[in-house]
Amino acid sequence: MFVHLGEWPVVLECPVCERRVTTRVSRSIRMSTHLMALCCCVIGCFPLAVLPYCLGGSYRVRHYCPLCGALLGHAWD
């Protein structure tokens, strides 16, 4: 079961270990965010290179079960 969840931890029942848990959230920067920053640098807009990291949707958010480590869902834009 791979479901859409928000950006913050949620309480749900893990389908793997069948326990009620609060998800552990992992955030990582998307490759497209790095590419947008690189494009800003290439065209000479160095001060704007940090802008992609401040915009919504620049992070990949995944929810895991804190007990068994199963991937339970993700957030996307």
Q: So where are the chain's domains?
A: 3-75
Q: What is the mean pLDDT of residues 26-50?
A: 87
Rounded to whole angstroms, how far apart are CA atoms 20 and 29? Answer: 29
Q: By CB neighbour count within 10 A (0-12 exposed, 13-18 middle, 19+ buried), where does 18 fall? A: exposed
* pTM higher than 0.75: no
- Where is pLDDT greater, at 46 or 68? 68
- Where is pLDDT greater, at 56 or 75? 75
Q: Please give the full DSSP string across 34-59, using - where no structure is assigned.
A: HHHHHHHHHTT-GGGGGHHHHSTT-E
Q: What is the mean pLDDT of residues 14-21?
A: 94
Rounded to whole angstroms, how far apart are CA atoms 22 and 37? Answer: 34
**2 has a pLDDT exceeding 70:** no
Q: What is the mean pLDDT of residues 43-50?
A: 85
